[in-house]
A and B are shown apart, each in its own frame.
Chain A
Amino acid sequence: MTRAATHASLQRLATAVSCVAACLLTLPSAAAPPQTREASWAPSMGVELGYSPERLEVRFPEETYQEDRRLWNSRLALGVDGRFAGRLATLGVRSVSEVGYGFVHHTGHGLLQLTQTALLEYAFGGDFALPFGLALQGGLDTSSSARSSLGVGVPLGIRFRGVELWYRPGFVVPLGSEDEPVFGGERQLSARPGLNWLDFGLRLRLGFLAF
């Protein structure tokens, strides 16, 4: 396969993935004839900081105790940022697929985070844009997979050219729990189900590597 053909295949694949994600936000128009998609794909990199919410639950025959804590985590992320022209000149559609790796500050556990984000983007003032949308996220605790989680986030941000600051509150669902017996009861430690309101980051779109 030639280099050009490989690029073309990659572009088609990325476009397909992105279209599925973008459809989540543009369902009313999904049945309409396909639009001309002037797409631009570029690698992205970012630094991210957020909470890893955890829950410790201890069940005894007569009583159940529960306590939550929020631990800071930080990640470096690499991804692919795709942009599509919207129907309106000021409204664009984006798809961002990212792999992040970092660690939870308190436990020192590795954190592998996979995120697929679909964004609508309102352009203003020439170089500025306000992206907002929906993100699906899987977070794998690489030291204790039982503490892993899935999440749905609502990212909001502001972008200036290729530099974007984002904030993403979301809802977390644990994928398991560390279980062990404790004094006739059971101890469970897991990601805390519920709202995680703190997750933010800085993303750079490497436009000169666009394909």
Chain B
Amino acid sequence: MTNSNPAGSRPLTRRDFNALGLSSLGVVLGAGLAACGAYPAETGDAYSPWVFPRAGESLEEGLIHAALLASSPHNTQPWTFAYGPKRVSFFVDDSRSLGAMDSLARERHIGLGCAVENLVVAAAARGFAARVDWLPDSATPSWVADVTLTESASASTSDALYGAISRRHTNRGAYLDARPPAALEQALRDQLEDASVELHFLSGARARDFRAGTIDATAAIVDDAGMLDAGHAWWRQTKREIEEQRDGLTLDASGLGALTRFLGKSTGRPSARTAGEYWLEGTRGDQTTGFAFCMLSTADRSSRAEQLLVGRAYQRLHLWATSQNLAFQPLNQMAERQDREETLGLASDFGDRLAKLSGQSRSGAQMLFRVGVPWDRALKSPRRPLAWVVT
């Protein structure tokens, strides 16, 4: 058996190999220690509500289950529900506030509107027509909607929309960056049922203005400690936090790559400033790619009823987009800054930009988002289960 070295070089010796082995072991141990805080995505009870529909739930429980899978600002899930036979009441939970990030509680009410839409879609899929009474008692402002269900042969919804309820996730990753297909704008408009909500579809030069405005607004938020801290309070870093709270923003739902998420989990909770800088970097990059930007506006953006209607419209659009394998991501930074300017009595910068983008004399912009074809599928966000949200 030959052991020659034709090229005349000395082979790696056992001693060399041992040294290399020890070095490698050190690297592996170091990586293992760093990985102590890491955990796999989408595992644990915090994600079990995404199993929908679930056997054994009553009609009303099944519909509330659909509702709690809706979009909400920063995944705050600012809702509670009460139900009786063929009736579900929606309440806004003011303790689940975004503080200075949503200083007029506008986004909170949009989130409630999203939950109502999920319930209405699920009810129709089960053969029930849902009558929605908005803000049924002016003496109880937290009671935002009352839904009455009646069996109806004519109640129907697209199976695709119902099927999309458990597949709909905000996708914060990169989208194909291209001009929109010609039919997209009209297809989105066709989903809107309420004339008081207007869709502004921004492509070309207006999309560039929107993108620049969103980046500027993000930078302004990162420089505003009040807003930054209020948003960061909803950051869930560890597996334990996610399981205990089952809400908020997580690394897995951030649209970042697998290795970045792994390292992020391993290195501990970032400061609000650090997280904000990552957010700004993402907004300058992947998070402003796509076919187009859209805005939903109404005549009076301070109207609770109109905020709720905008939420319904957004959720309907997102369900439809999910059924088409298109992705959505809310980009509300300009609207958040607009509210902040109003609250603090600052000169209107982002309010003016939004008014210009929507062609309105006074901005009624409520919900801003991007649409496109994603490179990667979105990961799920944690959800509070039915038992936690029913009073």
Interface residues of A (CB under 8 A from B): 4, 7-8, 11, 38-40, 42, 54, 56, 58, 60, 62-63, 65, 67, 69, 71-72, 83-86, 92, 103-108, 121, 123, 126-129, 159-163, 180-185, 187, 189, 204-208, 210-211
**A40 adjacent to B177 (CB under 8 Å):** no
Closest to B325 in A: A182
Q: Which residues from A are CB-within-8-Å of B4?
A: 38, 40, 85
* Given A56-B176, A189-B375, A208-B13, residue A40 in contact with residue B324 (CB < 8 A): no
The answer for the CA separation of A60 and B14 in the assembled complex, in Å, is 60
Interface centre among A65, A160, A204 (most CB of B within 10 A): A65
Q: Are A211 and B1 in contact (CB under 8 A)?
A: yes
A210 and B9 contact, Cβ closer than 8 Å, known pairs A63-B181, A108-B258: no
Q: Which residues of chain A are near B6, meaning CB under 8 Å?
A: 38-40, 83-86, 92
Assembled-state Cα–Cα distance A4/B20 (Å): 30
Chain A to chain B contacts (Cβ below 8 Å), 14 pairs: A69-B174, A83-B7, A92-B7, A104-B258, A106-B258, A107-B376, A127-B10, A160-B9, A162-B16, A183-B183, A184-B183, A206-B11, A207-B12, A208-B13
Report whether A123 and B7 are in contact in the complex, using a CB–CB cutoff of 8 Å.
Answer: yes
Kindly state the separation between the CA atoms of A207 and B3 in the bound complex, as whole angstroms: 8
B residues sitting closer than 8 Å to A (CB atoms) are 1-14, 16-17, 20, 174, 176-178, 181-184, 187, 257-260, 262, 324-326, 373, 375-376
Q: How far is the CA of A42 from the CA of B14 in the complex (A)?
A: 13
A206 pairs with B178, CB closer than 8 A: no
Contact residue among A65, A121, A184 (Cβ-Cβ distance under 8 Å from B176): A65
Which residues of B are found within 8 Å of A210, using beta-carbon distances?
Answer: 3, 11
Partner of B5, one of A7, A83, A160, A189: A83
Contact of A206 among B17, B181, B326, B373 (CB under 8 A): B17
Q: Determine the distance from Cα of A65 to Cα of B177 in the docked complex, in whole angstroms.
A: 9
Known: A161-B10, A206-B12, A211-B3. 6 other contacts (CB 8 A): A42-B11, A127-B8, A162-B9, A204-B20, A205-B12, A211-B1
Could you tell me if B176 and A58 are in contact, using CB atoms closer than 8 angstroms?
A: yes
Instruction: Knowing A38-B2, A105-B258 are in contact, say whether A208-B14 is a contact too (CB < 8 A).
Output: yes
Smallest Cβ distance from A30 to chain B, in angstroms? 19
CB distance from A121 to the nearest CB of B (A): 6
Q: Are A105 and B7 in contact (CB under 8 A)?
A: no
Residue in chain B with minimal CB distance to A83: B6
Which one of B1, B187, B260, B375 lies within 8 Å of A183 (CB-CB)?
Answer: B187
Task: State the Cβ distance, B38 to closest chain A Cβ, in Å.
Answer: 12
Closest to B323 in A: A183
| Cβ-defined contact, A56 with B375, below 8 A | yes
Inter-chain contacts of B12 with A (CB < 8 A): 161-163, 204-208
**Looking at the complex, which one of A8, A58, A72, A208 makes contact with B11 (CB distance below 8 Å)?**
A208
Q: How far is the CA of A146 from the CA of B210 in the complex (A)?
A: 36
The answer to whether A56 touches B373 (Cβ under 8 A) is yes
A67 & B258 in contact (Cβ 8 Å cutoff): no
Chain B: CB-nearest residue to A162: B12
In the complex, A65 Cα to B11 Cα: how many Å? 52
Closest to B14 in A: A208
Output the least CB separation between A118 and chain B (Å). Answer: 15
A205 to B3, CA, bound (A): 13
Which B residues are CB-close (under 8 A) to A72? 259
Write out the residue numbers on chain A whose beta carbons fall within 8 Å of the beta carbon of B11.
42, 161-162, 205-208, 210
Q: Which residues of chain A are within 8 angstroms of B174 by Cβ–Cβ distance?
A: 69
- Chain B residues near A105: list those with CB within 8 A: 257-260
Contacts A67-B178, A182-B325, A206-B17 hold; do A58 and B373 have CB atoms under 8 A apart? yes
Question: CB distance A181 to B325 under 8 Å?
Answer: yes
Q: In the complex, are the beta carbons of A187 and B325 less than 8 A apart?
A: yes
* Chain B residues whose C-beta falls within 8 Å of the C-beta of A159 in the assembled complex: 9
**Roughly how many angstroms separate A142 CA and B17 CA in the complex, as a whole number?**
30
Q: How far is the CA of A108 from the CA of B181 in the complex (A)?
A: 31
Would you call B324 and A183 a contact (CB within 8 A)?
Answer: yes
Please give me the residue from chain B that is nearest to A93 by CB atom: B6
* Residues of the A chain whose Cβ atoms lie less than 8 Å from the Cβ of B3: 40, 210-211
B184 contacts across to A, CB distance below 8 A: 183
B181 touches A67 (CB 8 A): no
Docked-complex contact B7 and A129, CB < 8 angstroms:
yes
Check if B183 sits within 8 Å of A65, measured CB to CB.
Answer: no
- Residue pair B7, A121 in contact (C-beta under 8 Å): yes
In the bound complex, do residue A126 and residue B181 qualify as a contact, i.e. CB atoms below 8 Å apart? Answer: no
Task: Collect the chain B residues with CB atoms within 8 Å of residue A103's CB.
Answer: 258-259
Taking CB atoms, residues of chain B closer than 8 Å to A38 are: 2, 4, 6
**Contacts of B10 on A, CB cut-off 8 Å?**
127, 161-162, 207
Q: A72 CA to B178 CA in the complex, in Å?
A: 24
